[in-house]
Structure formats: C-alpha cells, structure tokens
Amino acid sequence: MIFSLDQAVTDQLPTLCVGLVVACGIDNTCARPEVDALLDNAVRAAETRLAGINASEDPRVQPYRAAFSALGMSPSRYPSSNIALLRRIAKGKGLWRVNPLVDLGNAISISYGLPLGAHAMDLSCETLELRFSRADDVFVELSRTDADPTLSPGELVYAVGNHVQTRRWTWRQSEHGKVTPETREVVFPIDGFTDANANQVRAACEELAELLSRFFGATTATYLIDAHHPQA
C-alpha cells in the first residue's frame, strides 16, 4: 500500500480528495532548464492573476481556507502551501529554486492554485498516511535535527510511520521525506475537494505525471483518493 486516507479525516472533511502521482526511477541529478522555464512562466502568470489583490482572495484557495477553519486552524496563521506560495508571489518576492523536482511541483501548484506535496519514500515498504497525529509522532522541521516539541495529538498531518512529513495538513514540511538530488522515488499528493475542484486535481496529476516522465525519465502512476476509495 502506498497511501491511506483515515476515515476520521473524511468524517470531518467529507468532500476531501487527494490526487496522487507516484513516480519511480527519477533522475533529479542535473539541471533542467525546461523546469526553470515552466516555473518562471507560472510565476509570471500568477503575478498577473494576483495583481491588485491578496493571495487569500484568489477564488481557487477559498475551499482550503474554509477547510482549515473547519479543522480549528487559522488559515491566516497556518496557510496551506498553495496560499503560502501565492502570497510570496503577490508580494513581489518571486520564488526560490530548490532542485528541479521540487521546482516542478511548485510550478504545477502555482499554475493550478492547488497544494502539492513531494514526499521521498521507499515505495517497497513505506505508506504515506493522511491522518490525525498521535502521541508517539515525531516532527523534525526542515533544515533542523531536533524534534519539534509543539506537535500534539489531534493535528491533521501527512505521516510515514510515526514520522510526520507535513504538519497542519499542508502547512510546514519535515526534514523526513525531503526531496534531494539523490531521490529516486516520490509520492506527490495534490489535495482538493470533490465538490469544488476535483477536475483541476485530476488535470494537475496528469500534467505532473507527463512532465515527470518527459523531463526526469520517471515511471508514473496516478490515483484519486476520497472517502469512498481511501487507499492506493
């Protein structure tokens, strides 16, 4: 099993869906000017779209703000990853470069206005879960080595085993599961809602899978996870 969506999550967010792109055999070791161009174009398009408004006013992000509020998380204090990226662009700060694989994910996220994660995994033995955190879970913030003591049970997280990969759903990434140039296997979750943007989630999955194959030589598979199909 590659992915599992806990029923307790869909009990609270019944229309939640997650598009998955699973990629194997990735070559992320060299520069990809095509990805640089895609990200530049996505940033320019977002700048045009967001001209004169706050990122939080973009209609595409409203379902996420509502869902964060429903879960008791302030969408302003803990913005989902798509809102955080768009906020930076709206403020004229552009986007940093990480590595080609992460940059491609950011380009797709910006283009569609969807939160898109990238989790390096061993697909032979690890399962990515979207669930609420537990007492024995551990979160190590990106670029840190010590566990974050503020994690408490009951927080919506992406996790592999007891390692939390992303806190507060899609807010803060972990050092565990970080994509590096040496990464060969990745699971990309793209979060959405069956009653709001499922078609956009599917389209983003299809585009991402095609570009992973074209630019990175990856073998890919796509899935759509929801309350009725909670595993892949």
Residue 4 banded pLDDT, cuts 50, 70, 90: very high
Distance CA(154)–CA(149), nearest Å, equals 14
The domain that contains 191 carries what CATH number?
Answer: 3.50.40.10
Within a domain: 231: no
Residue pair 205/21 in contact (Cβ under 8 Å)? The answer is yes
Structural domains counted in the chain? 1
pLDDT digits (tens, 9 = 90+) for 127-171: 999 999 999 999 999 988 899 999 999 999 999 999 999 999 999
* pLDDT confidence of residue 143: 85
Strand order across the 163-167 sheet: 3-5, 128-132, 156-160, 163-167, 172-173
Region 18-45: what's the mean pLDDT?
97
Identify the domain containing residue 86 by its residue range. Answer: 3-226
Rounded to the nearest integer, the mean pLDDT of the chain is 97
Residue 199: enclosing H or E segment and its boundaries? helix 198-216
Distance CA(88)–CA(49), nearest Å, equals 13
The whole-model pTM stands at: 0.97
Within a domain: 232: no
